[in-house]
Amino acid sequence: MKKDVSVVYYRSAQESVAEAINLSGTFDKLSRGDNVFIKPNIVYWSREAQVPPWGMITTSRVVEDVVRELKDRGAGQITIGEGIITFDPKDRETSAHAYESLGYNELSKRFGVKIVNTFERAFRRKRLGDDVTLNFSVDLLDADFVVSLPVLKTHTQTVVSLSQKNLKGCIDINSRKRCHSDDRHKNLDFHVSMLADVLPKSCTLIDGIYTLERGPTYIGKALRSNLLIASEDMLLADIVGTALLGIDPGEVPHLVMACEKRGIASSIESADVVGEPVEMWARPHKWDFPYNKDNSLPVYLEYMGVKGLSFPKYDHSLCTYCSGIIGIIQYAISKAWKKTPYDGVEILTGKICRPNPEMNHTLLVGKCQIKLNKDNKQIRNSIPVPGCPPRLDKLVDGLREAGIDVDPDIFKDHELAPELFMKRYLNRPEFSWDFYKIEPE
Ligand code: SF4
């Protein structure tokens, strides 16, 4: 049976969110007194640098408006929870800094909203079927009603990251690593397609005030799109969101898998849309980073003429910690390149990638690569970079040992990298910080 998904053009605070919720009956299953868990998307935060939030982080405007709607409908305790990945897994201050900066503590004062860092709370094992077991935040599992508040964005591994993928922020670190499995069938897409199966009553409001190409982080390019998508059905909302990103939902593996399980087509025809016509607002968003023909170098390094180096494209088995350093390595190589071919160097990441016997030096980045390839007889000079996340000092040493003279400061100051991307948004008033503030009343 078809269900409604609303698409609303964002015009004003409170009214636009209320319109999206009302048009599609998004909160119809909410009962008075229900304890509600809200999952925004704060994919990255830094205490050191100004991070461009547009298209990467759910706007505080939408979070506040949703809290007000819930309160008006008699919701009980509201909890906002997120598990932000930080380079130091023990870092708790960055999350607290994010919540304060984004105005969540003001919601706490005003509406009694509880703000939690899911990594400081308990997790509970949940069996999802097909031998998949993941540990979910108890705050999510014990809620009566869950509201997913993702951003309308693309993702370099899962093509899009919408309501279902947003739930990955509610599982513990080990479970996140398990999602990035080396199993070619039970891979990242497979796990993401199952995440919503554990939920109690739930719904979504996808925040498309800003959208993002080549997400999920600040490296991608944000666009001002002014769209809101709401539904009590996450899968259908994600199908509509994908179409609005100009991507065929049938090309998104985790959506295809979830649709197959439900017995519906992975196409926009499965969703009965109210509000704005999807075809009118759909705008192409690039999601993939271009690599050369054999996927051994990103095209921009090939254009620069880099030779004697193979840095194969990341695959689904690469988890967030390791994917965070791919861009840093590429940037450091681009700065180190002196137009003299390297001596046959390869840099391997993730849990699947195998060495090329023609290479002279093989960097095995992270504990998974070391485990996979440490005894591989085809490797001439093995350079292990231990750790999970991989140790940056060892990475610098390893690259230099292989003859790539990278600047260690690029790795030491990696927390400042987001500032480089801020330049894109300077003197563009449509990229406003006001959407990421909640002012005291
Ligand atoms: S080493 Fe990298 S790929 Fe392996 S578990 Fe750690 S973060 Fe994931």
Tell me the CATH number at 125: 3.40.50.11440
Q: How confident is the model at residue 88 (pLDDT cuts 50, 70, 90)?
A: confident
Q: Is 210 domain-assigned?
A: yes
Q: Is 421 domain-assigned?
A: no
Q: What is the share, in percent, of the chain residues with pLDDT greater than 70?
A: 99
Q: Is 193 domain-assigned?
A: yes
Whether residue 236 sits in one domain with residue 321: no
Cα of 207 vs centre of ligand 1, distance in Å, is: 30
pLDDT score at 252: 98
Distance CA 57, CA 151 (A): 7
Residue of 325, 353, 367, 391 to test ligand 1 pocket, by largest number of atoms within 8 Å of CB: 367
For range 237-259, the mean pLDDT: 98
pLDDT digits (tens, 9 = 90+) for 288-341: 999 999 999 999 999 999 999 999 999 999 998 899 899 999 999 999 999 999
pLDDT digits (tens, 9 = 90+) for 255-283: 999 999 999 999 999 999 999 999 999 99
Whether residue 330 sits in one domain with residue 254: no
178 lines ligand 1 (CB under 6 A): no
Residue 238 structure tokens: 């994600």
Cα of 237 vs centre of ligand 1, distance in Å, is: 31
Whether residue 136 sits in one domain with residue 94: yes
Q: Is 441 domain-assigned?
A: no
For range 27-33, the mean pLDDT: 97
38: three-class secondary structure by DSSP:
strand
For range 226-255, the mean pLDDT: 98
Whether residue 254 sits in one domain with residue 371: no
Q: State the closest ligand 1 atom to the C-alpha of 365, by its place in the atom list counted from 1.
A: 1
pLDDT score at 130: 87
Q: Is 17 domain-assigned?
A: yes
Cα of 13 vs centre of ligand 1, distance in Å, is: 41
Whether residue 388 sits in one domain with residue 345: yes
Q: Tell me the torsion sign for CA atoms 286, 291, 297, 298.
A: negative
384 lines ligand 1 (CB under 6 A): no
Cα of 319 vs centre of ligand 1, distance in Å, is: 6
CA dist 38 → 182, 203, 257 (Å): 31, 10, 25
Whether residue 333 sits in one domain with residue 230: no
Cα of 317 vs centre of ligand 1, distance in Å, is: 8
Number of domains in the chain: 2
For range 221-240, the mean pLDDT: 98
176 lines ligand 1 (CB under 6 A): no
Q: Is 420 domain-assigned?
A: no
Residue nearest atom 4 of ligand 1, based on CA coordinates: 368
For range 100-104, the mean pLDDT: 98
For range 417-441, the mean pLDDT: 94
Q: Which domain holds residue 315?
A: 299-406
Residue of 175, 177, 363 to test ligand 1 pocket, by largest number of atoms within 8 Å of CB: 177
- The verdict on whether omega for the bond into residue 386 sits within 30 degrees of 0, i.e. cis, is no
Cα of 350 vs centre of ligand 1, distance in Å, is: 6
Q: Is 422 domain-assigned?
A: no
Q: Residue 228: pLDDT above 70?
A: yes
Whether residue 266 sits in one domain with residue 357: no
Cα of 392 vs centre of ligand 1, distance in Å, is: 14
Whether residue 167 sits in one domain with residue 127: yes
DSSP H/E element including 137: strand 132-137
pLDDT score at 134: 98
Q: Residue 90: pLDDT above 90?
A: no
Q: Tell me the torsion sign for CA atoms 149, 154, 157, 158.
A: positive
Cα of 369 vs centre of ligand 1, distance in Å, is: 8
177 lines ligand 1 (CB under 6 A): yes
Whether residue 314 sits in one domain with residue 278: no
What mean pLDDT is reported for the chain? 96
388 lines ligand 1 (CB under 6 A): yes
Q: What is the pTM of this model?
A: 0.97
215 lines ligand 1 (CB under 6 A): no
- Please list, in sequence order, all residues whose beta carbon lies within 8 angstroms of the beta carbon of residue 397, skipping any fewer than 6 positions away: none
Distance CA 259, CA 110 (A): 40
Residue nearest atom 2 of ligand 1, based on CA coordinates: 322
pLDDT score at 87: 81
pLDDT score at 3: 62
Distance CA 22, CA 353 (A): 48
Contact call for residues 280 and 240 (beta carbons, < 8 A): no
The alpha-helical segments, DSSP class H, found in 231-360 are 234-244, 253-262, 278-281, 299-303, 320-336
Q: Residue 441: pLDDT above 60?
A: yes
Cα of 87 vs centre of ligand 1, distance in Å, is: 12
pLDDT digits (tens, 9 = 90+) for 328-358: 999 999 999 999 999 999 999 999 999 999 9
Q: State the closest ligand 1 atom to the C-alpha of 387, by its place in the atom list counted from 1.
A: 1
Whether residue 219 sits in one domain with residue 128: yes
Whether residue 308 sits in one domain with residue 213: no
Q: How confident is the model at residue 1 (pLDDT cuts 50, 70, 90)?
A: very low
pLDDT digits (tens, 9 = 90+) for 397-427: 999 999 999 999 999 999 899 999 999 999 9
Q: Is 165 domain-assigned?
A: yes
Whether residue 94 sits in one domain with residue 238: yes
